[in-house]
Amino acid sequence: EIVLTQSPGTLSLSPGERATLSCRASQDISSDYLAWYQQKPGQAPRLLIYGASNRAPGIPDRFSGSGSETDFTLIISKLEPEDFAVYYCQQYGSSPPYSFGQGTKLDIK
Amino acid sequence: EVRLVESGGGLVKPGGSLRLSCAASGFTFSTYAMNWVRQAPGKGLEWVSFISSNGNYKYYVDSVKGRFTISRDNAKNSLYLQMNSLKVEDTGVYYCVMGGGSRWGQGTLVSVSS
């Protein structure tokens, strides 16, 4: 079973700053099958990035993903007020379970 | 417009059963794999189960194996999750999720409590 560990647990930043979120896998996963989601309180998660680096339709270009093997990163280049939320990574590769990371809460400093 | 609408949640005693449904519209349901993902109150996301587009492949998280059964009816554009022998730790919002996570329903709340 692949375990995803996200860091930091909480990230406190101000609008306009750059956010860097990390997702580390316990074993190599294909970058084709690493996704990032954003979840706001009371809402369902929203897909941001799939295949480690591909933005989902309608996602602003301030969101970018990168990484391979065991280390993946989500960068938000210039934070907007609506970006403060919880972010999850997920692997959905060759074998289940299709685990999620524990989440990174991005809050306003 | 893609829509996923879950139903069937509610309050049930430990050991009880519930059947969740997800009505899909706005896309060719029969060509997409589907998942159930849950979220305990105040906690993170947990993948629960996967079913392939034709229903031939089904996978489960270890904690629900032998208790939950995923199924689909492509003629009715519907996804199901039969949940038996429910435990307190099964409490949470259950989301119906399309394919690679591109679309999520709004979720249905399952509460298991005596």
> How many CA within 13 A on the CB side of residue A14?
1
Identify the H or E element spanning B12.
strand B10-12
Q: Say whether B59 and A96 touch across the interface (CB within 8 A).
A: yes
Identify the pLDDT of residue A96: 87
Alpha carbon distance B86, A91 (integer Å): 27
**Is the torsion defined by CA of A17, A23, A28, A30 positive or negative?**
negative
Q: For B19-68, how does the pLDDT look when each residue is reduced to its tens digit (9 = 90+)?
A: 999 999 999 999 999 999 999 999 999 999 999 999 999 999 999 999 99
Indicate the residue of A47, A50, A100 with minimum beta-carbon distance to B45.
A100
Mean pLDDT, chain B, rounded, equals: 97
User: What integer pLDDT is reported at residue A93 of this predicted model?
Assistant: 79
| Closest alpha carbon within chain A to B95 | A44
Question: Has residue A94 got a pLDDT over 80?
Answer: no
Taking the C-alpha atoms of residue B101 and residue B72, their distance in angstroms, rounded to an integer, is 17
| A2-55: pLDDT as tens digits | 999 999 999 999 999 999 999 999 999 877 899 999 999 999 999 999 999 999
Q: What is the pLDDT of residue A16?
A: 97
C-alpha B80/C-alpha A47 separation (Å) is 22
Q: Can you tell me the distance from the alpha carbon of A56 to that of B107, in angstroms, rounded to the nearest whole number?
A: 21
Percentage of chain B modeled with pLDDT above 70 = 100
The alpha carbon dihedral of B12, B14, B18, B24 has a sign of: positive
Whether the CB of B50 is below 8 Å from some CB of chain A: the reply is yes
* CB contact (8 A) between residue A96 and residue B60: yes
Contact flag B95-A88 (C-beta cutoff 8 Å): no
What is chain A's mean pLDDT, rounded?
Answer: 95
Is the pLDDT confidence value at A95 over 90?
Answer: no
Q: Which residue of B has its CA nearest to A59?
A: B102
Q: Give residue B99's pLDDT band: very low, low, confident or very high (50, 70, 90).
A: confident
